[in-house]
Amino acid sequence: MTKNTPLMIVGAPRSGNTLVRRVLMASGQIYIPPETYVLGELIENWRRAALLSWRDKVWLFCAYFDRHPHRNDMDIASLSPFADTAARWPRAQRNLRALLDGFYRFMAGEHGYTQARWGDKTPWNTVHLKSITRFYPDAQYLHLLRDGRDSVASQVRADMRDIDEAARRWISANEMCERHLRKVSHLQMRYEDIVRDPETSFARVFDWAGLRFESRFLTEVPARMGDVTLRTHHANVLEPITPRSIGGWTRSLDAAQVSALPAPFHAMMTKYGYG
């Protein structure tokens, strides 16, 4: 691990990804943008651009981000400054890894951050985790695990998906983490531990990531967090860390709804000790 090693926060939706992003960024040692959504697609489809000129590759790269429905979450007026600069890069720098590194640094600069190291916290990356881990075998992967009932209930409350789809998403995300993180540097942390004992939990995360931890990082809120202020389901991230959301599923789901969830959901819950 070096100071330029990406740190990927992965796991099912509503598992604490944005909270961890907030605390890591408060340290001033790493920049993590709002959810990017298209990292996996870019990696998987990049070979199709092989015959394009470098300028056209840069434009295509930017279009993946610029045309996404959640483009405004980036809180960046224009990607043209990056595209104009990258199009003039020397030949030795003309590759996808350099583009991604340069683009994350561009986003950091646009938001007032100067850290050399960057990360990503997009839950959708689990769908493409096989490709991402092959492309970034040297990255660090933080797998956040949360009680499936709370993840499902939170997804439903946020109007992200219905209860059955939310359960399938929780299963698949954790399955992908189990399958594809075996051969890379990874750490699994439970959301419940993080919010019950943030001091101990984040000290462990920071040590594993090679970052310096201070207690004040737990209460400071970084500027320009993008989707945190734009998406109501991220509102609690700006509040003090508290365990009050643990077991919150009981306020929106009944026993019959939980019992009706698919068998693999219950099997995975038991496997992780949430049964």
CATH classification of the domain holding 16: 3.40.50.300
Q: SS3 for 9? A: strand
Question: Does some domain include residue 1?
Answer: no
Model pLDDT, residue 228: 60
Q: What pLDDT, in 10s, does the model give residues 41-73?
A: 999 999 999 999 999 999 999 999 999 999 988
Would you give the end-to-end CA distance of the chain in angstroms? 36
Within-domain flag for 182: yes
3-state secondary structure at position 199? helix
226 assigned to some structural domain: yes
Report the predicted TM-score, pTM, of the whole model to 2 decimal places: 0.94
Bridge-partner residues for 141, per DSSP? Answer: 8, 186
Q: Running DSSP on this structure, what letter comes out for residue 224?
A: -
User: What pLDDT is attached to residue 114?
Assistant: 87
Does residue 20 lie in a domain region? yes
Strand ranges across the sheet with 7-11: 119-120, 7-11, 140-145, 185-190
- What is the rounded (10 degree) CA torsion for 44, 133, 111, 35? 70
79-97: pLDDT as tens digits? 999 999 999 999 999 999 9
Q: What mean pLDDT is predicted for residues 206-211?
A: 97
Can you say how many angstroms the Cα of residue 26 is from the centroid of all Cα atoms in its chain? 16
Quick check: is 2 in a domain?
no
What is the span of the domain harbouring residue 258? Answer: 7-271
User: Does 103 map to a domain?
Assistant: yes
- Checking if the pLDDT of 226 tops 70, the result is no
Q: 212 with 218: CB under 8 angstroms?
A: no
**pLDDT band of 232, cuts 50, 70, 90:** low
Lowest mean pLDDT among 52-56, 135-139, 215-219, 232-236: 232-236
The total domain count for the chain is 1
**183: three-class secondary structure by DSSP:** coil
37: left (phi over 0), alpha (psi -120 to 50) or beta: left
- Contact criterion met (CB below 8 Å) for 20 and 143: no
- Please give the pLDDT value at position 230: 54
Quick one: tokens of 189?
């942390």
What pLDDT is attached to residue 239?
A: 83
Q: Which residue has the tokens 């990406």?
A: 6
For residue 1, the one-letter residue type is M
Sequence-distant (6+) residues with CB within 8 A of 183 are: 133, 137
DSSP H helices, the chain, are 17-26, 39-45, 54-66, 80-86, 96-110, 129-135, 148-157, 163-180, 191-196, 198-209, 227-230, 255-259, 263-271
Beta-bridge partners for 44:
none
The encoded tokens of residue 145 equal: 């695990």
**With bands split at pLDDT 50, 70 and 90, how would you rate the model's confidence at 198?**
very high
Q: What integer pLDDT is reported at residue 223 of this predicted model?
A: 75
Q: What pLDDT was estimated at residue 233?
A: 54
